Structures are given as structure tokens and as C-alpha cells.
Amino acid sequence: MAALEIVHYGNPILRKKGKPIEQFNDDLKRLGKDMIETMQAAEGIGLAAQQVDLALRICVIDLREGDWEFDYRLNGGVYPLDLIMPMVLINPEVTAIPDPVTTYSEGCLSFPEIHGDIDRPDRIDVRFKDLDGHDNHLSCNGLLSRCVQHEVDHLNGVLFIDRMRKSSLLEIEQDLKQLKKATRKRLKRRPDA
């Protein structure tokens, strides 16, 4: 199946809270697969349902590329990354450990070419269901933790610009305006979007 279309900043779907997923069926498996393919085609490390025009609580993550350093335990065990990624998180609930906080320049597939510094807690616990409806518990830090926090924000209609440092926001102000304008223009041309 072809990759899905990624929506950009200015599309109102990005501000919608996702509905919990209740049916763990073949349609959901297809959606998970399509989202993974879409993320990989766009060379992203994470993608949330709102970014493919769906207000649902599902996101995907793949951190196998690149030499990131982070610790993680999935259901109490340490498995090779190749075994657990790409990861599909359904109805995730994040608990952040408030201290320490780290700063990192984040990007987002819905904001092409735009980056900015964001402070986030380094370590989280996240409980989620997988595509089979099984309960999972991931404890992690570093970029994996940051990526989960960024994607789960999307599921709540929260965007990285909401958390960005003022100094970064000032730098990207014009780019943001232009992106929003371009997205709105595009939506007007397609009344079905």
C-alpha cells in the first residue's frame, strides 16, 4: 500500500485530541503498517495519527537508524532494538520523571525544515497497547523518551511549538507563518480535505 499523505501545520486536525482505539482488528493492523511505511518514506523517527489526518490514539516510532544512546526496558526486559522497532504505540499513557530535564533541537514531519530547542524530562514510563491489543510497559530515557513524548503530545493535539523555547520560536516565526498560510491555501483548493 502506498504511503499516506502527511499533513502540515495549519491543518486543524493537528489540534484534535485522538479518540482511544477500541477495535484491534485487521483495519488497525493495516493502519499501523501504513503509518510505519509513511514514516520511513519521509525519513522520520516518529509519526502520530493526527499527522495522517486521523484523530486517533496511535503513533509509530523507529529509532534503528543513527547511533543514538538511550536506555530502555520493554516489559522489564532489554531486547535488541531490531526486535522491538518499528514500534506501534496504541492508547499510550506517559508518566514523566520530572528530573533531570534535557534540551534538544527537535523537528517534526508536519513542520518541514523547522527546528527548535525544547526542554523535556529525560526519563519516562509509558504504558500502551500493541497492534494485538496486548499491554506493554516501556521505561526509557534519551531520544527514545523524547520521541515518545513528542508523539504522545500529537495524540493530545499538542505541538512541539507549544513547548519550544521563546528564543527558538522567535527565530522560526516567519517560517511558521508561511507554512500555515501555504497549508490553509491548499486546504481551500481541496474542499474535501
- As annotated, the active-site residues are 151
| Cβ at position 92, least distance to Zn ion in Å | 15
| Cβ at position 150, least distance to Zn ion in Å | 5
Residues 1, 32: contact at Cβ < 8 Å?
no
Q: Which is nearer to Zn ion, 28 or 159 (CB)?
A: 159
Of 89, 108, 148, 179, which one interacts with Zn ion (CB under 5 A)? 108
Contact mark string toward Zn ion, 134..173, x via CB under 5 A: ----------------------------------------
Closest C-alpha to 139, from 82, 60, 57, 84: 84
Cis check: omega of the bond before 86, within 30 degrees of 0: yes
| Cβ at position 154, least distance to Zn ion in Å | 6
Instruction: Estimate to the nearest angstrom the gap between the alpha carbon of 144 and the chain centroid.
Output: 11
Number of residues that bind Zn ion (CB under 5 A): 1
Burial group, residue 10, by CB count within 10 angstroms (0-12, 13-18, 19+): buried
Which region, judged by CB under 5 A, interacts with Zn ion, from 3-11, 83-91, 106-114, 180-188? 106-114
Q: Which is nearer to Zn ion, 90 or 108 (CB)?
A: 108
Q: In this structure, are strands 46-48 and 58-61 parallel, antiparallel, or unpaired? A: antiparallel
Strand order in the sheet with 72-74: 46-48, 58-61, 87-106, 116-129, 135-140, 72-74
State the residue number with the nearest CB to Zn ion. 108
Measure the CA–CA gap between 42 and 49, rounded to whole angstroms. Answer: 15
Q: Which is nearer to Zn ion, 8 or 123 (CB)?
A: 8
Residues that bind Zn ion (CB under 5 A): 108
